[in-house]
Amino acid sequence: MSDRLFRLMERHQKLDEALRRLQARRLPDPFEVARLKKLKLAIKDRLARLSSKPRHSRA
């Protein structure tokens, strides 16, 4: 796994945790929830693009 892919996965997980904490509040800020979801989706899209790229083998 590439370093870039790992960092994106780690960032996605941290956003997921932050989103869960925010939604567990009694009155979560709907704008912050939307912002975190949008960031999470953007990272998920980047992960999908990186995963689908053909890898060059180094010999």
Is 59 contained in some domain?
no
Is 57 contained in some domain?
no
Nearest Cα neighbor of 19 from 7, 6, 31, 9 is: 31
Q: What does the pLDDT read at residue 53? A: 75
Residue with tokens 């912002």: 35
Is 58 contained in some domain?
no
Is 48 contained in some domain?
yes
Is 45 contained in some domain?
yes
Task: Please check whether residue 41 is in contact with residue 16, taking contact to mean a CB–CB distance below 8 angstroms.
Answer: no
pLDDT per position as a tens digit, 16-50:
999 999 999 999 999 999 999 999 999 999 999 98
Q: What does the pLDDT read at residue 15? A: 97
Residue 56 scores a pLDDT above 90: no
Is 14 contained in some domain?
yes
Q: Is the pTM of this model over 0.85?
A: no
Is 9 contained in some domain?
yes
**Structural domain count of the chain:** 1
Domain enclosing residue 42, as ranges: 3-52
C-alpha pair distances (Å), 2 with each of 23, 35, 40, 45: 32, 27, 20, 17
Residue 59 scores a pLDDT above 60: no
Residue with tokens 């689908």: 52
Is 32 contained in some domain?
yes
